[in-house]
């Protein structure tokens, strides 16, 4: 079977499974989730073994430490994966919710109810945990899913999908509710994006080049974010101890993620006292600092930032710092250079904080908290299928609700339109 035929068959199988899932009871879907959690625990040694095969290949190819961090699974991460599956199982039924109900003067009862989107394609790169996150969210929300992971996580993805499919069968659900593209050819992604008759939505997760390629080539609606150039602004009325803690976490807790802070903005009035403390703390942890001329004057032992730094997603322990004259300048910088994903202000002045929250045009805007919280699990969504910086249908971390659409159900008694 050639590539085109194989991808087309996957689309057909996924469509059939989506109809079955849309009519399935929550009991069956939750049973599948319980079995998935049990199988992940039972086969964790095998999962780690297959992940090590991926890690070895990546190390031989000298991939960056940030890349290896995204690729690596360990006992702790598998434990978190299992907890995530259980958390999604505990979430309420997302389907059949009455969103709107109206009784018209002619007697028609009109209801808007939540329904699955249908068939969803997830195209992602090096993170095998996405395989489980995406699958369980689609399953709980009654959607079938076709996964297209990066070749770097091939062995990890295959064992995880095998576990998912075995659990589906044991629960009485179609194994084709979750499928993964096994072919390595680059054309496989474009073939998948051509399945407009079978796919209802595409969600890419990865670097900017991948997401732009998908957006340009897809005949199917795409929900996306291109980059995560996130900012933390330390205001002149900030609690500096709080600011040091939040900024350090926002940059260094896991610098290879899209919600880590890439640019620190600091008000000029507190810059002389704040910058030496935070820069020393970051440098001691191995973070490279690139600063504007004002930052360099306060702390000469850093690199000078270039214009391109303000629009660079490092995904590494690198931070650019700019001293700003005002809250207004900070907001304007973020709205110009940012990617509408995740930005934060540190201040004890509620009025200034509220102004920042209102005027920064991002999916998640924080007051006195780390940008690293922009995550479906941290938002209480159970897990996350992606983060959207679009403004239509879904925005921010996407959980179960974002994987549903709606339809109108109209109940009549012989009414005709006059």
In a 13 Å sphere around the CA of 169, the CA atoms on its Cβ side amount to 9
Residue 120 to residue 145: CA distance in whole angstroms: 5
Contacts 24+ apart (CB under 8 A), 324-332: 324/233, 324/265, 324/266, 324/267, 324/268, 325/267, 325/268, 326/267, 327/233, 327/235, 327/267, 327/352, 327/355, 327/356, 330/231, 330/233, 330/235, 330/265, 330/267, 330/356, 331/355, 331/356, 331/359, 331/360
Q: Where are the domains of the chain?
A: 3-224+400-411, 230-373
Residue 243 to residue 347: CA distance in whole angstroms: 8
CA 315 centroid distance within chain: 15
Give pLDDT tens digits along the chain (418 positions).
899 999 999 999 999 999 999 999 999 999 999 999 999 999 999 999 999 999 999 999 999 888 898 899 999 999 999 999 999 999 999 999 999 999 999 999 999 999 999 999 999 988 899 999 999 999 999 999 999 998 999 999 999 999 999 999 999 999 999 999 998 888 999 999 999 999 999 999 877 788 888 888 888 999 877 678 999 999 999 999 999 999 999 999 999 888 999 999 999 999 999 999 999 999 999 999 999 999 999 999 899 999 999 999 998 999 999 999 999 999 999 999 999 999 999 999 999 999 999 999 999 999 999 999 998 888 888 777 888 888 778 888 888 999 999 999 999 999 989 8
Residue 417 to residue 273: CA distance in whole angstroms: 73
Candidate CATH numbers 3.30.67.10, 3.40.605.10, 3.40.640.10, 3.10.20.30; the one for domain 3-224+400-411: 3.40.605.10
May I ask the CATH architecture of the domain 230-373?
A: 3-Layer(aba) Sandwich (3.40)
């Amino acid at each position: 079977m050639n590539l085109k035929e194989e991808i087309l068959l996957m689309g057909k199988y996924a469509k059939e499974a989506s109809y079955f899932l849309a009519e399935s009871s929550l009991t069956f879907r939750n049973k599948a989730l319980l079995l998935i959690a049990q199988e992940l625990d039972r086969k964790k040694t095998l999962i780690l073994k297959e992940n090590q095969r991926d890690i070895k290949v990546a190390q031989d190819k000298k991939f960056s430490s940030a890349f290896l961090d995204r690729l690596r699974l360990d006992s702790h991460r598998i434990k978190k994966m299992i907890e995530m599956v259980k958390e999604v199982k505990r979430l309420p039924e997302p389907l059949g919710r009455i969103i709107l109900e109206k009784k018209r003067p002619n007697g028609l009862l009109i209801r808007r109810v939540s329904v699955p989107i249908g068939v969803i394609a997830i195209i992602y790169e090096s993170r095998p945990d996405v395989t489980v996150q995406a699958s369980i969210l689609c399953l709980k929300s009654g959607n079938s899913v076709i996964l297209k992971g990066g070749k770097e996580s091939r062995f990890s993805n295959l064992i995880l999908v095998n576990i998912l499919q075995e659990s589906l069968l044991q629960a009485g659900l179609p194994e084709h509710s979750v499928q993964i593209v096994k072919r390595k050819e680059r054309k496989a992604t474009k073939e998948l994006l051509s399945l407009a008759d079978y796919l209802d939505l595409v969600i890419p997760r990865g670097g900017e080049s991948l997401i732009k390629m998908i957006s340009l080539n897809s005949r199917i609606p795409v929900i996306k974010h291109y980059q995560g150039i996130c900012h933390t602004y330390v205001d002149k009325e900030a609690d500096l101890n709080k600011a040091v803690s939040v900024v350090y976490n926002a940059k260094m807790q896991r610098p290879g993620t899209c919600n880590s802070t890439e640019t620190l903005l600091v008000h000029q009035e507190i810059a002389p006292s704040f910058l030496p403390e935070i820069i020393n703390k970051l440098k001691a942890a191995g973070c490279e600092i690139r600063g504007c001329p004002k930052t360099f004057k306060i702390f000469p032992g850093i690199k000078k930032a270039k214009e391109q730094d303000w629009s660079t997603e490092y995904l590494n322990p690198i931070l650019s710092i700019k001293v700003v004259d005002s809250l207004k300048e900070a907001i304007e910088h973020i709205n110009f250079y940012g990617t509408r994903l995740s930005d934060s202000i540190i201040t004890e002045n509620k009025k200034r904080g509220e102004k920042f929250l209102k005027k920064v045009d991002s999916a998640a805007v924080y007051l006195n908290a780390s940008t690293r919280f922009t995550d479906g699990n941290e938002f209480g969504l159970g897990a996350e299928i992606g983060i959207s910086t679009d403004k239509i249908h879904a925005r921010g971390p996407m959980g179960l609700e974002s994987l549903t659409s709606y339809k109108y159900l109209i109940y009549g008694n012989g009414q005709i339109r006059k």
